Structure 1
């Protein structure tokens, strides 16, 4: 900056020439300099005040806007936060083969109390007892007036209950965000779903974990964040499952059975399209397991299709015939001596009815002759029989992807003697689950390959090792077809759908040994359409009794067979199977070609 002198020489000389005082020039310059300095200071101060004013204006604008947002937002209760590992609450959905929801998540709230900040503990306890009748008012008062600083009241509540608690107006009653498991179809496929519950919990989150069924079997997959948005797809068909449950429930009631199970399985892929166990439950409100010493089969949690191991009676006879044909010991036309009773030591094997002195192998199966089947088992031998049944899966736990399946371990004889081989050939002395039976019949239906049943959606055939030749499998299917057309399953025919199958009626064992005289397990294992099977259906009834006649009828032909026929007639169209109706020949009418 160039500083102007206070006493410029030119002006001083000029002033002296005019007779003026040069000091006046200096005073005038000092005055002007001071005025310039004041102007600059005033401008600087005004700029600073303007900036400060703008700052306060912006600050008050932000504060006012935030207050406006808070004033218009929905009130939220304060949440008590605690340090630690965050809880991952999101869980993957479960869908059926067509993408329909079987299990999903639902946002809800938990309810807890902080007694130190309760305004009126007794009024709060009284109000909660009114909203939740299952809570004890006395217990709540004790908790609220004691030394506790935190009290869980409800782990999950409905929106209506939340509003009712909110209306109590006590700041000591607080809500926490929750994500619960929801099964929108209620009891449908309950034993497959199993159920879920809370694991690690905090006031504002809870970990959802599987407790049974596929929820527990695939718990790691469903909880993995990497699978977010990718549901677990099962092989079940929701529509077929609903129809199967309805028909089986009606059949169980009509036949006066205490329980029932059914399995529908694709014979090529092993996919289980439907699996039903009755009685069932609602996984949204899963009941508690039975106490110790309680018969587990009475509980609705018991899965009869995979956990129940039963002597499955004459449904096993086709395995003896198939193995005998595979070994070249017999053909379908081979004549078998069925004169009886057949004696082995002090034991006798008899037929349910008298069928004459001899039958072909095909008729042994169609008429269900115990003696004929036992004679084929004698030719096969115990060792070869064990290998064959093992290849069909009867030595292993139920091959199915739910946790309960591991409990379906077949019961084998401790000493597999020749007598054991004979009785096992017609379904006595070896206990297995209906799921084992479905997998074994699928091998006959698909041409001789073992296929493991699965609850997961598959694409294309999933053939395992070959257990019998295609020719033997075809001959076995022909025999099973005759069981329906000429034998013990005559009520199993469904118009338009050729049905092949085998009945089985086994006396029910007593808990302490021996067998009941008036209680049976009735089973019908079937495949359809018989000429080119696509599905296997197994229906099992526990203690059925058909009482329309003068005496109770308990055999599978009178109980399980008509139920299975009704099932096939109901679900076959849902599976996309078109009925194959053969035209009847009318008397006096000749069909000619118009060409």
Structure 2
């Protein structure tokens, strides 16, 4: 009772004594009302206020997350999965694999010196100063090493360093290595596409899905490309062989479906392994087919001849003088002249510079420029591949410019554009934009553009065939496949002058030339003369490259050999 009174007294309150009960029957006391009611109210309010403050603080702290929680949460969540890239037959070109990346929470590191020394025993390639600075900082999170090997991860886990963690990430894996490097492209350390079709996938919507949070761990539908991995391997293999055989500094090639515009194969050497994306940045690994511009030499006579015939000013059997002549202080002459006038097919077959210049002169400067523009040779080509170059041309076209451009000097364009324009020449005059995605004939018919008369295309196919049978393209014409086309040997510009010893060679061929289905192009940069050969011109190197590709790839392209009546007789005899 005394304790109770003391407690109430401390609160400013007084309690009456409890009624006494005894055997003697004491008188019941009246309970007195609190003498100081306001003090009781104040005390109660004080207690409530304290609890409200404490409760509010707890609520506030509950809404605030640890700065490191973001990284811990991210580490626990699965990384975003990129869609696989497949070839036209379903073969995997690029896919995601899981990998671990190492991070630190520096505020939880007990001893930065010891942690640094321990990690360096497993990851000796890390910079000790940078590593120590990150571990000893006040930051909440710091990356230490991305894309560890399983062994590295296991050894680091065995070290048992507090404040060190792993995040599961996705790394892009390319089963074919360098086989289709310039088409497939690469991703960066964050698994974002930065080149080739990988970048196209991001630009086409995958990046937006990521940013909006719709891209998750679920596997997305794969992206099928137009290329055939089998043909792609053949093209690259032939380029590797040609570079070694002709001691060249670079080479390239492509196979294109003429009717649909699909790129079936495309390669450029030197190349790189996209599993090591740093090599993609090296200057020598440029994609020369779509991102390099070159004077394409005599392959441009394809367009000069077609232009002359399509203009109506020149007929198939017309004959031109090939006598050298001077224009604006320059002499237009032959590389190997025949010493006589040549017909239009002969100008093409014998690769006459003078005859081509005279054809261009008949059409005129404006007509020449308009035709090359119509064929897509003077503007950046439109396709899914991000790496495409802008062609170069004279700022002001003069007569001398038009004449030299007629035989391949004065305009630089990409080999891809040359191939696409040449395909239109033999495809009844229909220009079909190139694509690295599957496209049907019906889809192509909806977007194709008429750039040439039917008759012109038919005459050009015949001219292609003549050159493939008896001209500079003979070595690109394997038995049974009827390849027709045009060689090009361009002298390279060195110190502002054309060099006699350094060449950029090319061959553009179509097959079967009677009704072309595929166009094949090859380029080879600075080839050396093969032992036993007359020269290092395109007929001795670029053309055989195309012939080898056709011979090896025709079966995969569903083109059967045709040996004419002799072949039919042999089949009957069996």
Q: What is the TM-score when the length of structure 2 is the normalising length?
A: 0.80
Task: Find the counterpart in structure 1 of residue 171 from structure 2.
Answer: 180
Task: Find the counterpart in structure 2 of residue 8 from structure 1.
Answer: none
- Any conservation in 1 of the 2:188–2:277 contact (CA below 8 Å)? no
- Any conservation in 1 of the 2:274–2:280 contact (CA below 8 Å)? no
How far the C-alpha of 1:411 sits from its partner, in A, is 0.6
How far the C-alpha of 1:549 sits from its partner, in A, is 3.6
Of structures 1 and 2, the larger Rg is shown by 1
Equivalent residue pairs, number: 492
> Structure 1 pair 112/465, CA: closer, same or farther in 2 (3 Å)?
same
Query: Which of 83, 96, 99 is matched with 1:92 structurally?
Result: 83
> In structure 1, what is the Cα distance between the partners aligned to 2:546 and 2:441?
27
Q: Secondary structure of the residue that 1:156 maps to in structure 2?
A: strand
Does the alignment pair 1:469 with 2:453? yes
Task: Find the counterpart in structure 1 of residue 294 from structure 2.
Answer: 310
Query: Which of 357, 364, 372 is matched with 2:355 structurally?
Result: 372
Task: Find the counterpart in structure 1 of residue 481 from structure 2.
Answer: 497
- Any conservation in 1 of the 2:245–2:530 contact (CA below 8 Å)? no
How far the C-alpha of 1:288 sits from its partner, in A, is 6.0
**Mapping for residues 217-296 of structure 1, pairs under 5 Å:** 217-220=200-203, 221-223=205-207, 224=209, 225=214, 229-287=220-278
Task: Find the counterpart in structure 1 of residue 51 from structure 2.
Answer: none
Q: Secondary structure of the residue that 2:510 maps to in structure 1?
A: strand
Per-residue CA deviation, residues 432-474 of structure 1 (Å, 9 max, x unaligned), is 0001111111112211101111111111151422111222111
Per-residue CA deviation, residues 533-576 of structure 1 (Å, 9 max, x unaligned), is 1011111111111241487x321111211111111111111212
Does the alignment pair 1:102 with 2:85? no
Task: Find the counterpart in structure 2 of residue 482 from structure 1.
Answer: 466
How far the C-alpha of 1:140 sits from its partner, in A, is 3.1
> Structure 1 pair 142/319, CA: closer, same or farther in 2 (3 Å)?
closer
- Any conservation in 2 of the 1:499–1:527 contact (CA below 8 Å)? yes
> In structure 1, what is the Cα distance between the partners aligned to 2:329 and 2:81?
64
> In structure 2, what is the Cα distance between the partners aligned to 1:183 and 1:116?
38
Q: Secondary structure of the residue that 1:319 maps to in structure 2?
A: helix
Query: Which of 417, 427, 431 is matched with 2:412 structurally?
Result: 431
How far the C-alpha of 1:228 sits from its partner, in A, is 5.7
- Any conservation in 2 of the 1:254–1:546 contact (CA below 8 Å)? no
Query: Which of 116, 119, 141 is matched with 1:125 structurally?
Result: 116
Task: Find the counterpart in structure 2 of residue 554 from structure 1.
Answer: 536
Task: Find the counterpart in structure 2 of residue 333 from structure 1.
Answer: 317
Task: Find the counterpart in structure 1 of residue 338 from structure 2.
Answer: 355
> In structure 1, what is the Cα distance between the partners aligned to 2:275 and 2:484?
38
**Mapping for residues 8-47 of structure 1, pairs under 5 Å:** none
Task: Find the counterpart in structure 2 of residue 162 from structure 1.
Answer: 153
- Any conservation in 2 of the 1:79–1:174 contact (CA below 8 Å)? no
Per-residue CA deviation, residues 180-212 of structure 1 (Å, 9 max, x unaligned), is 22222211211122211245xxxxxxxx32111
> In structure 2, what is the Cα distance between the partners aligned to 1:236 and 1:309?
23
- Any conservation in 2 of the 1:114–1:150 contact (CA below 8 Å)? yes
How far the C-alpha of 1:277 sits from its partner, in A, is 1.1
Query: Which of 545, 553, 561 is matched with 1:563 structurally?
Result: 545
Structure 2: which 5+ runs fail to align? Answer: 1-68
How far the C-alpha of 1:328 sits from its partner, in A, is 2.2
Task: Find the counterpart in structure 2 of residue 299 from structure 1.
Answer: 284
> Structure 1 pair 213/265, CA: closer, same or farther in 2 (3 Å)?
same
- Any conservation in 2 of the 1:497–1:529 contact (CA below 8 Å)? yes
Task: Find the counterpart in structure 2 of residue 415 from structure 1.
Answer: 396
Query: Which of 177, 187, 190 is matched with 2:181 structurally?
Result: 190
> In structure 2, what is the Cα distance between the partners aligned to 1:95 and 1:317?
37
> In structure 2, what is the Cα distance between the partners aligned to 1:326 and 1:139?
67
Q: Using the TM superposition, name which of 273-282 and 186-195 deviates more.
A: 186-195
> Structure 1 pair 116/228, CA: closer, same or farther in 2 (3 Å)?
closer
- Any conservation in 1 of the 2:81–2:220 contact (CA below 8 Å)? no
Per-residue CA deviation, residues 336-389 of structure 1 (Å, 9 max, x unaligned), is 2112x1221311111111212111111111111111111111111111111111
Structure 1: which 5+ runs fail to align? Answer: 1-77, 200-207, 291-295
Task: Find the counterpart in structure 1 of residue 432 from structure 2.
Answer: 451
Task: Find the counterpart in structure 1 of residue 504 from structure 2.
Answer: 521
Task: Find the counterpart in structure 1 of residue 441 from structure 2.
Answer: 460
How far the C-alpha of 1:160 sits from its partner, in A, is 2.1
Q: Secondary structure of the residue that 2:335 maps to in structure 1?
A: coil
Q: Secondary structure of the residue that 1:546 maps to in structure 2?
A: coil
> In structure 2, what is the Cα distance between the partners aligned to 1:345 and 1:137?
66
Q: Using the TM superposition, name which of 497-506 and 186-195 deviates more.
A: 186-195
How far the C-alpha of 1:148 sits from its partner, in A, is 5.0
Per-residue CA deviation, residues 379-417 of structure 1 (Å, 9 max, x unaligned), is 111111111111110121022212111xx1111111212
The runs of at least 4 aligned residues of structure 1 exceeding 6 Å deviation read none
> In structure 1, what is the Cα distance between the partners aligned to 2:533 and 2:555?
36
> In structure 2, what is the Cα distance between the partners aligned to 1:583 and 1:112?
72
Q: What is the TM-score when the length of structure 1 is the normalising length?
A: 0.77
